[in-house]
Amino acid sequence: MDEPLDGVDGAEQVNRDARPVTIDGDTVTRPAPANAATIHDLLQHLRDQGIVGVPELLRLEGDTETVRFIEGDSGGDAWYHQHTDDGLASAARLLRRVHDATTTWTPPPNAEWGAPAVAAHNGEDLVYCHGDPGPWNFVWRDNEAIGLIDWDYLHPAPRLSDVAYALRWFVPVRCDEFVRDWHHFPEIPDRRHRIQVFLDAYGDLPDFDIAEAVVRRMQAVSDLVSHLAELGQEPQRTWVAQGALEQNTVEIAWVRDHRADFT
């Protein structure tokens, strides 16, 4: 899920400590989420639909899963790949392909979701959302998004749920300080332009209020982080202890105060 700590390196260290991942040649072994069976049912469907840039399950044994490694950059190495319009657009196109392919998936009867289901309203198209489509969860080669990994927060929701989440982190819809320090832009980018590049590449979305959509998604993430922390789950418990919820409230206020920058 998105990285609410003060600094990318700190967030990644907490994530590594809480959920250790081992890469051995062409395999990745990591703790399996509780909804792993549902996730891999969908991922196999996506692969059957020709989307090969999603994890391929090799073994699911108890609380551990082993998947095939997808060659490329992800995590903290991902930020630079999406600075260009081409990189940004490639992520939007991949997200659209994934969303479209989920519409023909029939979840298993005992399907489990990693985040609360979100009902569609006003004719919105319901899909199965990744739930955490930030640059770090895409796999990149030469400034092109070729894969989408870490599906722990899979859940049914309107497309706009994932799109709004992605806009926050790709554009980014964040203050100038974070744009430089977290996202490593040498100059503050034209946010309106990057929003339009992403939306044009994704394609065929109804008009919506950018700021309010992003704020709703941020609040939903904050609520989920709070809930998981109360259950004692890591890294969410550490995030909350280090002030993630308070920081998110400040960031939500910033988005609302700067809505003119996005429309």
Tell me the per-residue pLDDT of 98-120, one tens digit each, with 9 for 90 and over. Answer: 999 999 999 999 999 999 999 98
Backbone torsions φ then ψ of 8, nearest 5 degrees: -65, -40
Rounded Cα–Cα distance for residues 37 and 92 (Å): 27
**Rg of the chain, C-alpha, whole Å:** 17
- Give the residue, 206 or 99, on which the prediction is more confident: 99
Reported confidence tier of residue 1, pLDDT bands at 50, 70, 90: low
Backbone torsions φ then ψ of 60, nearest 5 degrees: -130, 105
pLDDT of residue 19: 66
pLDDT of residue 121: 81
The mean pLDDT of 52-75, rounded to a whole number, is 95
Reported confidence tier of residue 129, pLDDT bands at 50, 70, 90: very high
Q: What stretch of H or E contains 252? A: helix 244-257
The mean pLDDT of 53-71, rounded to a whole number, is 96
Q: Is the pLDDT of residue 207 over 60?
A: yes
The mean pLDDT of 120-142, rounded to a whole number, is 93
CA distances from 257 to 96, 241, 248, 251 (A): 30, 27, 14, 10
pLDDT of residue 41: 98
How many angstroms separate the first and last alpha carbons of the chain?
Answer: 26
The 8-class DSSP code of residue 83 comes to S
The mean pLDDT of 182-202, rounded to a whole number, is 96
Reported confidence tier of residue 18, pLDDT bands at 50, 70, 90: low
The whole-chain average pLDDT of the chain stands at: 92
Q: Are 202 and 92 in contact (CB under 8 A)?
A: yes
Strand partners, 68: 27
Tell me the per-residue pLDDT of 226-257, one tens digit each, with 9 for 90 and over. Answer: 999 999 999 999 999 999 999 999 999 999 99
The 8-class DSSP code of residue 72 comes to S
Strand partners, 127: 157
The angle at the Cα of 191, spanning 190 to 193, to the nearest 5 degrees, equals: 70
The mean pLDDT of 1-5, rounded to a whole number, is 46
pTM of the model: 0.93
